[in-house]
Structure 1
Amino acid sequence: MVEVKLHDIGEGMTEGDVITYFVKEGEDVNEDQPIIEVQTEKMVTELTAPKGGRIKDILVEEGATISVGTTILTIDAGNASIEEDEAAPKDDSETSEPSETAPDHDRKTEVKGPVRIKAAPYTRKIARELEVDIEQIKGTGKDGRITVEDVKSFKGPEEAVDKGEKVAPATKKAAEDPTEEENWIPFKGRRKQIAKKMTQSIYTIPHVAHMEEVDMTELLAFRQELKPEASISVAAFFIKALAIALNDYPIFNSELDEENGRILLKDSVHMGIATDTTEGLIVPVIRNAEGKSLSDIHKEMKSLTAKAMENNITGKEVTGSTFTISNVGPLGSIGATPIINYPEVALMAFHKTKKMPVVDQNDEIVIRSMMNITLTFDHRVADGGEAIAFTNRFKSLLENPKLLLLELV
């Protein structure tokens, strides 16, 4: 008997939520076939069958929160209807008919489990909500991968909208005879893990917020100059300028080891990008940002953000950040005091850029594009003077963007 347990699939993971099963008791599965979808702190992931065999007992209900090490289900490898070394069912022409006289347990039958298809967990979720059989869809993505658009197109736009209304959040009261139960939404999965991490951060770190305003006029003009050759997002400039500033002020790219009485200065800048998704906040990571060009940063950030929005991101892509940014300006924010992404030392938020009258060096009133920024830092590790110096260095690079050319790779 093979036990399938929830194993640690991410840094610091202690629990997860069982979202859905792809199999039922009594069904046969191949080795490495997806059998369970689990929500962890950072992502939705699939667990696969470690051995081929027959699903014996499903021990955990869908929606349950379980700790690492919990046995979710068992597989009877001795009653497998296919050989364990078979990666997938054979073609019909290769399948021999079972003997009429053979006992039931010796017969080789068609696998009843789901076909191995290429689709992200989020795509599968949309398919379930729209009551679409994802196995019937032909994927248009890379290597035949099924996308969210494929699911919606298969269902039909009008039907998808109608079904979307049926799966609206539980906070919407029923039209008739609403009950208190219908006003609850589940506090688990990523939402619960975010709460735990934010609580740990705010109760562990003495937060200080330093605020500054940045004149974005020259940067926006410089970005327009580059457009014939390359379209670079403003956030890519933020990341590159921060990587340079962090090299000059490495205390903000560090980690406090309070137990051993030391501060570890990190060799590389692994930039976390706070991303707002339908499943909650997630932080994809651009590794070694200090050694990447603006173009490389832009492309990687775009790719990681798309994966995060589709809930199709790996554990490695959301762990190991040394500094985090929060670009909330496009949402309309003019100021905030963000919570640090523990165990990092600092986080910088970029707020809305808007045109304002400004008095220039000649005491004349001119219109400039101004943006507020907030640096939240750990006062155990750094002081206000260092925070101001670090922020001023970052500000100077944005206000004189051609200085970045001296640092670009």
Structure 2
Amino acid sequence: SCCHGNRNHLEDPPPEPKAHAGSTCSLSIRYGPILQFKLSDIGEGIMEVTVKEWYVKEGDKVSQFDSICEVQSDKASVTITSRYDGVIRKLYYDVDATALVGKPLVDIETESSPELTQEEDVVETPAMAHDEHTHQEIKGLKTQATPAVRRLAMENNIKLSEVVGTGKDGRILKEDILNFLSKQTGAILPPAPFQEIRPPPAAAAAPKSPPAAMPQAPPTPKPVFTGKDVTQPLTGFHKAMVKTMTAALKIPHFGYCDEVDVTRLVALRAELKPVAEGRGVKLSYMPFFIKAASLGLLQFPILNASVDEACQNITYKAAHNIGLAMDTSQGLLVPNVKNVQMLSVLDIAKELNRLQALGASGQLGTADLTGGTFTLSNIGSIGGTYAKPVILPPEVAIGALGKVQVLPRFDSAGQLIKAQIMKVSWSADHRIIDGATMCRFSNLWREYLENPACMVLDLK
């Protein structure tokens, strides 16, 4: 199988010695052994992944640690890197195709000595940390660029090492690639927009009317819709959502809704926001919501628990790993902030900034997406007031936060005032959590937010 798929991609050998007709094995011996680079087990019991992007094409030279492709499981995105120096001779999968663990990913014609064996053709790249996913090693220099920028450079045969980055810390941006290309080839014109609806050819000209008749307006042709239905398999995170929500359907959900007057919290956040920005942290309301939930879980630990499939045993989780439902280009993801019970509001804000940056670039790792014990969904950041959140197994409770609205309310003296009101919708596993417990937790959580000064007494 070492010669499979290479007869159309190998360069013609020199005139002598002449290779035997119909044989490509002699070519592989001449230029070095061709090894099948297999997709290794990336953990978490994952047996298949979706190829999201190729960073190489057939005929490209690669060095050790160069990025080969990006794959996506139902848990995280992973970048596969090369272990060998050589030339890519075959890509086994197209973009969006499903690759199987243990099966060949690419064929690499190596430039190394023959002691390389097929047993070494497995590369395992763990989920990348925040700084790793934007780096690429090029001839000893570390060049920072996102996968989309690297792909743009590859398609235009541009070496990233020759491009001057104008982004933060010298990062190469898309504009840098386009500017570099325009200096070589002139201005770049944007592609023409795709038109789904186009009118048919104009009808043949009607015969001329007699001079005495009124001119007739030509009939207006009706537009013809040429769009087609598209069917695609569910892959990656969408496939994971199907599996998770199907399991959630087995849980009897108990719902509870309330409203929270966050007028004081709005004022407090306005005071602390410039202080946080001075420390390089963007401060939203979510760190307060998450910390208040953690303080409530200390009093009601059953909401931070899980039950086994047979519902015979309950496990109380020591860590408060509070998840945040996040809307991304890849779909709904729920990364979580680890050990909230040990973090300050500012610490939580820093971690949220990191998770949101990774989510926006599609680079959330397995460690960030697993291990959650309790979840909040900030649906109000998009719109809406009430929701019916679905529990994320094996968790037993989830909250959905509506948007903050200015509404009329009465103060303690009976005077009509403007108040900042937010709706909250809770769902709990009614097999182990009763309505009174959910209500008491919600009341405590609401008290912390309506009187943020009370939070100071219980912060650790």
Q: Shorter-chain TM-score: which interval?
A: 0.7 to 0.9
User: Equivalent of 2:48, from 15, 26, 40?
Assistant: 15
Q: What is the root-mean-square deviation of aligned Cα atoms in Å?
A: 3.5
TM-score normalised by the chain length of structure 2: 0.70
Cross-structure match for 2:204: none
Cross-structure match for 1:327: 378
Decide whether the 8 Å contact of 2:36 with 2:107 is kept in 1: yes
Give the residue type in structure 2 aligned to 1:218: R
Distance (Å, rounded) in 1 between the aligned partners of 2:154 and 2:91: 23
**1:406 Cα deviation from its structure 2 partner:** 1.5
Decide whether the 8 Å contact of 1:53 with 1:82 is kept in 2: no
Give the residue type in structure 2 aligned to 1:189: T
After the TM superposition, which of the residue ranges 8-17 and 353-362 deviates more from structure 2? 8-17
After the TM superposition, which of the residue ranges 216-225 and 241-250 deviates more from structure 2? 216-225
Q: 1:405 is paired with a residue of what secondary structure?
A: helix
**1:191 Cα deviation from its structure 2 partner:** 5.1
Cross-structure match for 1:99: none
**1:383 Cα deviation from its structure 2 partner:** 1.7
**1:228 Cα deviation from its structure 2 partner:** 5.3
Query: 2:68 matched to 1:35?
Result: yes
Cross-structure match for 1:402: 453
Cross-structure match for 1:205: 251
Deviations 1:177-198 (A, max 9, x none): 65453x4274433453243234
Distance (Å, rounded) in 2 between the aligned partners of 1:6 and 1:382: 44
Decide whether the 8 Å contact of 2:261 with 2:420 is kept in 1: yes
The higher radius of gyration belongs to 2
Equivalent residue runs for 1:189-204 within 5 Å: 189-190=235-236, 192-204=238-250
Distance (Å, rounded) in 2 between the aligned partners of 1:160 and 1:386: 62
Give the residue type in structure 1 aligned to 2:453: K
Distance (Å, rounded) in 1 between the aligned partners of 2:87 and 2:159: 23
Cross-structure match for 1:55: 88
**1:120 Cα deviation from its structure 2 partner:** 3.0
| Unmatched tracts of structure 1, length 5 or more | 85-111
User: Equivalent of 1:349, from 381, 400, 412?
Assistant: 400
Query: 2:79 matched to 1:66?
Result: no
Q: 1:4 is paired with a residue of what secondary structure?
A: strand
Equivalent residue runs for 1:268-279 within 5 Å: 268-279=319-330
Give the residue type in structure 2 aligned to 1:59: Y
Deviations 1:309-358 (A, max 9, x none): 12233322222221121112122211111222222222111101111122
Decide whether the 8 Å contact of 1:198 with 1:341 is kept in 2: yes
Equivalent residue runs for 1:350-365 within 5 Å: 350-365=401-416
| Unmatched tracts of structure 2, length 5 or more | 1-33, 117-137, 200-223, 278-282
**1:41 Cα deviation from its structure 2 partner:** 2.5
Cross-structure match for 1:214: 260
Give the residue type in structure 2 aligned to 1:359: F
User: Equivalent of 1:291, from 338, 342, 348?
Assistant: 342
Q: Aligned residues: percent identity?
A: 33
Distance (Å, rounded) in 1 between the aligned partners of 2:154 and 2:55: 15
**1:282 Cα deviation from its structure 2 partner:** 1.8
Cross-structure match for 2:147: 121
Q: 2:292 is paired with a residue of what secondary structure?
A: helix
Query: 2:196 matched to 1:173?
Result: yes
Q: 1:61 is paired with a residue of what secondary structure?
A: coil
Deviations 1:162-220 (A, max 9, x none): 45x85x8xxx8354665453x42744334532432343343232222211111111111
User: Equivalent of 2:420, from 364, 369, 385?
Assistant: 369
Decide whether the 8 Å contact of 2:397 with 2:426 is kept in 1: yes
Cross-structure match for 1:96: none
Q: 2:276 is paired with a residue of what secondary structure?
A: coil
Distance (Å, rounded) in 2 between the aligned partners of 1:304 and 1:144: 22
TM-score normalised by the chain length of structure 1: 0.78
Distance (Å, rounded) in 2 between the aligned partners of 1:250 and 1:369: 30
Pair 1:131–1:52, CA change in 2 (3 A)? closer
